[in-house]
């Protein structure tokens, strides 16, 4: 006797009726979900690369902001002090070497040299 | 009436292949209750996807396989703990033949037993079995024929062995 025939002639255990009921009920009651397009991983990766390139190109092509402007008062900018009236500025607190040239010029022209 | 084409297709498939799916699940799960759960879960999985797989038959067998292994894992059991492969067969079978088949199945390795059941009782091709189990079809085919040789030796023992006995 052929071995396959020997195996096939044996009757298999029947599936229980409860299984028929469960599957039948499942197929009767459930509605297929709305088809959601599945996006493959490589498509996600390609989209990420494309978006990155577009963002880079947009960054290159957009007008850049210019360099930061120099503050009105270089002294205030260097020493980080609040604006004060020029007359009451206390030059004695700071060494002369720290003062920018523009301040020194202003001082030479308009201020009393003893205050510097 | 089933809703949608997918449900109708699945209902038709279940009617045609319920026995094969259940036998396969029974082999893997070891007893009727988890086998029933595995088959039901496989259909639930396909319904959840909402689309018909390109190759429904191996896909459903693979779903049954995954569900049966998952059930075993949940219960903390191993495949080796299965008692007797006679559970596959009906009570109406001739006891001698049934015991012979169960004995032979018990002699096989886990993967060989699975492939034989898929081939003989599931009527899957070697290619489909390879898809279900994730192995090359050539491996399945060669292993299957070796298994049948073992069964042949069991059914028709060599004369030398008979003389020795």
Chain A interface, mutation test: which of B5, B43, B63, B107, most A Cβ atoms within 10 Å? B43
DSSP for A6-65, written as a single string: HHHHSPBPPPPHHHHHHHHHHHHHPPPPPP-PPPPHHHHHHHHHHHHHHHHHHHHHSPPP
Q: What gap in Å lies between CA A110 and CA A116, rounded to an integer?
A: 11
Per-residue CA distances from B161 to A6, B97, B154 (Å): 22, 20, 11
Nearest Cα residue to A26 out of B143, B109, B105, B40: B40
% pLDDT > 90, chain B: 15
A17-27: burial string, b at 16+ Cβ within 10 Å, e else: eebeebbeebb
Q: What gap in Å lies between CA B77 and CA B100, rounded to an integer?
A: 26
Residue-wise pLDDT tens digits, B154-163: 777 765 555 5
CA distance A28 to chain B (A): 5
Chain B interface, mutation test: which of A1, A6, A9, A18, most B Cβ atoms within 10 Å? A6
Residue-wise pLDDT tens digits, A41-86: 888 999 999 999 999 998 888 877 666 665 566 666 666 666 555 5
Task: Compute the Cα dihedral for B97, B98, B101, B102 and give only its sign.
Answer: negative
Q: What residue ranges do the domains of chain A occupy? A: 74-115
Picking from A16, A20, A35, the nearest residue to B32 by CB comes out as A16
ipTM over 0.90: no
- Residue A34, pLDDT score: 44
Whether B18 and A19 have beta carbons less than 8 Å apart is answered as: yes
Inter-chain residue contact B36 with A15, CB threshold 8 Å: yes
Minimal Cα distance from B49: which residue of A?
Answer: A33
DSSP for A81-102, written as a single string: -----GGG--GGGS-GGGS-HH
The size of the A-B interface in CB pairs under 8 A is 105
Q: What residue ranges do the domains of chain B occupy? A: 4-164
DSSP label at residue A71: P
- Residue A56, pLDDT score: 92
> Where is B152: in which H helix or E strand?
helix B137-155
Q: Evaluate if pTM is beyond 0.80.
A: no
A interface with B, Cβ–Cβ below 8 Å = 1, 3-4, 6-16, 18-20, 22-24, 26-28, 30-36
Picking from B11, B18, B97, the nearest residue to A27 by CB comes out as B11
A76-106: burial string, b at 16+ Cβ within 10 Å, e else: eeeeeeeeeeeeebebeeeeeeebeeebeee
């Amino acid at each position: 006797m052929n071995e396959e025939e020997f195996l096939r002639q044996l009757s298999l255990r029947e599936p229980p009726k409860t299984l028929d009921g469960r599957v039948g009920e499942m197929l009767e009651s459930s509605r297929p979900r709305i088809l959601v397009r599945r996006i493959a991983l490589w498509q996600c990766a390609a989209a990420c690369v494309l978006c990155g390139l577009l963002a880079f190109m947009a960054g290159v092509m957009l007008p850049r902001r210019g360099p930061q402007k120099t503050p009105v008062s270089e002294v205030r900018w260097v020493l980080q002090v609040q604006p004060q009236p020029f007359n009451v500025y206390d030059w004695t607190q700071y060494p002369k070497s720290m003062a920018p040239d523009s301040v020194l010029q202003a001082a030479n022209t308009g201020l009393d040299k003893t205050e510097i | 009436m089933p809703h949608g084409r997918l449900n109708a297709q699945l209902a038709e498939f279940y009617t045609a292949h319920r026995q094969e799916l259940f036998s396969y699940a029974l082999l893997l799960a070891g007893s009727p209750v988890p086998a029933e759960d595995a088959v039901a879960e496989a259909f639930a999985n396909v319904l959840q996807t909402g689309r018909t797989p390109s190759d429904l038959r191996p896909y459903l067998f693979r779903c049954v396989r995954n569900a049966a292994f998952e059930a075993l894992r949940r219960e903390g059991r191993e495949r080796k703990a299965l008692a007797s492969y006679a559970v596959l067969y009906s009570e109406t079978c001739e006891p001698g033949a049934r015991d012979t088949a169960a004995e032979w199945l018990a002699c096989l390795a886990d993967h060989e037993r699975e492939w034989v059941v898929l081939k003989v009782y599931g009527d899957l091709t070697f290619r489909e079995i390879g898809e279900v189990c994730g192995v090359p079809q050539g491996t399945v085919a060669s292993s299957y024929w070796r298994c049948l040789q073992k069964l042949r030796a069991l059914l028709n023992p060599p004369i030398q062995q008979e003389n020795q006995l």
